[in-house]
Amino acid sequence: MSLLDSLAGSATPGTLYGIGVGPGDVRLLTLRAVGLVRSVDVVAFFAKRGQQGNARRIVDPLVPADRTELRLEYPVTEELPADGLPYQQQIGAFYRDSQERLAGLLKAGASVGLLAEGDPFFYGSFMHMWRRLAPLFPVEVVPGVTGMSGCWTRAGTPITWGDDTLTVLPGTLPEADLTARLKATDAAVIMKVGRNLAKVRRAVESAGVMSRAVYVERGTMPGERIQPLSQCTDQRGPYFGMVLIPGNGRQI
Ligand SMILES: C[S@@+](CC[C@H](N)C(=O)[O-])C[C@H]1O[C@@H](n2cnc3c(N)ncnc32)[C@H](O)[C@@H]1O
C-alpha cells in the first residue's frame, strides 16, 4: 500500500460518508475524500434532472468503472420558488425517499459515500440526509474546499485582511436586504447568483462597492469565467456563479 493510500484510509461497512469534493477541480479533493471515493461500496450523488450531477462529474476520474452508484435526482430545482409550498412539498418527499434508499443500503451493511460539491456542511443537500440519518447510523463527514475559497483563489483576490468582517449572503435575499448587509460589512461573498445576477448587481451598486466586486462563474471548473462585476452585463448566469467583494482592511 502506498503512503498516500495508507494516509487516506478506506471505508467501513454500514457507514454513511458525506464527502466534500471541493469546488470543481478534482486535484482539490482532500486525501480522505479520495480514499473514500475509491473505497466505498456505493457512490451516491444528487443530480438535476437530465444532468450528470456536478459533484459526480468532479470525481469522475476517481470512480472505478464497476462501482455501484446511486443517483438521487431532484424532482425540481430552480423551476419553482424555494420558499413556496409546491417546492417544499416536492423536495420534502424527495428527501424522505432519498433517506429511505440510503438507509436501506446502510442497513444491508454497505458503506455509502454521498458526494457534496464544496464542503458538505456549507449550503449542502447532504445536510438534509445527515440530519435524518446521523442519529441512526455511523456517519463521517469529510470537509471540502468551499466554492468561495476556490473562487477567490482563482480570482487572485485575498478576501479578508486584518480585522475585516466577512459576510456570506445568498443572492436570493431581497435587493434591499442585500444592499443593507453589503453596506454593513467589510468583505462579502454573494452565493446563488445565477438567476439573481441583475438584482445582485443593483444591490452592489447601491451599496457603493462595485469598484471592488468580482464575478466568478464556474470557479476551478471547465468554462471558468472571472471578471469585474461592473463589466458583466448578463441578466442571469449559470448555477455556479458568485460575487466576491474583497475586504480592504489593514494591509501592512
Ligand atoms: C447550494 S450552494 C453549495 C455550496 C457548496 N457546498 C460549497 O461549499 O461551496 C451552491 C452555490 O455555491 C456557489 N458555488 C459553489 N461552487 C462554485 C464554483 N466553483 N464557482 C462558482 N460558484 C460556486 C454558487 O453560488 C452556487 O449557486
pLDDT (mean) for 126-144: 97
Rounded-to-integer distance, Cα 81 and Cα 193, Å: 15
Q: Tell me which DSSP letter residue 68 carries.
A: E
Rounded-to-integer distance, Cα 151 and Cα 153, Å: 5
Neighbours of 35 (CB within 10 A): 23
124 and 159 in a single domain? The answer is: no
The cell numbers describing 252, all together, are: 501592512
126 and 203 in a single domain? The answer is: no
Rounded-to-integer distance, Cα 69 and Cα 48, Å: 16
Whole-number pLDDT of residue 154: 98
183 and 229 in a single domain? The answer is: yes
136 and 193 in a single domain? The answer is: no
Q: Could you tell me if the CB of 57 is within 6 A of ligand 1?
A: no
Does the structure show a pLDDT above 70 at 80? no
141 and 153 in a single domain? The answer is: no
Of 106, 89, 113, whose CA–CA distance to 37 is shortest?
113
Domain annotation covers residue 196: yes
Does the structure show a pLDDT above 70 at 251? no
Please, are residues 218 and 193 in contact by the beta-carbon 8 Å criterion?
no
Domain annotation covers residue 209: yes
pLDDT (mean) for 132-160: 98
Number of domains in the chain: 2
Helices and strands, number each (H, E), in the chain: 8, 10
Span 83-108, pLDDT tens digits:
777 788 899 999 999 999 999 999 99
CATH number of domain containing 38: 3.40.1010.10
Does the structure show a pLDDT above 80 at 49? yes
Residue after which a domain boundary falls, among 95, 117, 145: 145
Domain annotation covers residue 215: yes
111 and 181 in a single domain? The answer is: no
140 and 162 in a single domain? The answer is: no
Helix (H) or strand (E) holding 37: helix 31-39
The cell numbers describing 235, all together, are: 441578466
Domain annotation covers residue 111: yes
Q: Which residue has the cell 446563488?
A: 192
Rounded-to-integer distance, Cα 182 and Cα 189, Å: 10
Whole-number pLDDT of residue 89: 87
CATH number of domain containing 160: 3.30.950.10
Span 222-235, pLDDT tens digits:
999 999 999 999 99
Domain annotation covers residue 13: yes
Kindly list the strands in the beta sheet with 139-142, ordered across the sheet, starting from the edge strand earlier in the chain: 68-73, 42-47, 112-116, 16-20, 139-142
Does the structure show a pLDDT above 90 at 209? yes
Domain annotation covers residue 251: no
Structural domain harbouring 12:
3-145
Whole-number pLDDT of residue 74: 92
Rounded-to-integer distance, Cα 216 and Cα 63, Å: 28
Separation of CA 26 and ligand 1 centre (Å): 15
Residue after which a domain boundary falls, among 145, 178, 194: 145
109 and 169 in a single domain? The answer is: no
Domain annotation covers residue 190: yes
86 and 23 in a single domain? The answer is: yes
The cell numbers describing 24, all together, are: 470543481
Residue having the nearest C-alpha atom to atom 27 of ligand 1: 192
Does the structure show a pLDDT above 90 at 142? yes
SS3 (DSSP) at 18: strand
Residue having the nearest C-alpha atom to atom 5 of ligand 1: 118
156 and 139 in a single domain? The answer is: no
Q: Could you tell me if the CB of 219 is within 6 A of ligand 1?
A: yes
Residue having the nearest C-alpha atom to atom 7 of ligand 1: 118
Domain annotation covers residue 252: no
Q: Could you tell me if the CB of 169 is within 6 A of ligand 1?
A: no
152 and 140 in a single domain? The answer is: no
Residue having the nearest C-alpha atom to atom 17 of ligand 1: 147
Span 20-46, pLDDT tens digits:
999 999 999 999 999 999 999 999 999
State the pairing for strand pair 42-47/112-116: parallel
Does the structure show a pLDDT above 90 at 249? no
Residue after which a domain boundary falls, among 145, 180, 203: 145
10 and 135 in a single domain? The answer is: yes
Rounded-to-integer distance, Cα 53 and Cα 111, Å: 21
